[in-house]
């Protein structure tokens, strides 16, 4: 799970490019500080989070809450292979993992 594999970066999604650049900048800043000053900085970033108080509105939510709502409303059981390659993590689980990383680091 750690560190995430390097992925080839293509064009950034137009509606999300500022967020993507900020994430990439944080990773690079840690790398450069570590190289230049001998620090051991780490950039911890979540994947797609979902959880309590999430927005499940079908027209304005992110993909996973919308899917959860659609599954719930349709009472669908997944029977096939999950083909989505995105990673999703519950907000509470993310908090616990991040805390463990910070304590161990």
Q: Which residues are catalytic?
A: 19
How far is it, in rounded angstroms, from Cα 77 to Cα 92?
24
Question: Who's near 94: CB < 8 A, 6+ residues apart?
Answer: 46, 49
Cα(50)–Cα(65) distance, integer angstroms: 7
> Which of 3, 74, 95 shows the shortest CA–CA distance to 43?
3
């Amino acid at each position: 799970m750690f560190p995430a594999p390097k992925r080839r970066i293509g064009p950034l999604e137009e509606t999300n490019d500022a967020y993507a650049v900020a994430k990439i900048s944080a990773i690079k800043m840690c790398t450069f500080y570590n190289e230049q000053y001998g620090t051991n900085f780490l950039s911890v970033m979540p994947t797609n989070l979902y959880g309590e108080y999430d927005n499940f509105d079908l027209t304005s939510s992110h993909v996973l809450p919308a899917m959860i709502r659609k599954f719930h409303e349709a009472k669908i059981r997944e029977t096939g292979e999950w083909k989505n390659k995105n990673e999703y993590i519950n907000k509470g689980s993310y908090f616990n993992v991040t805390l463990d990383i910070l304590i161990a680091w």
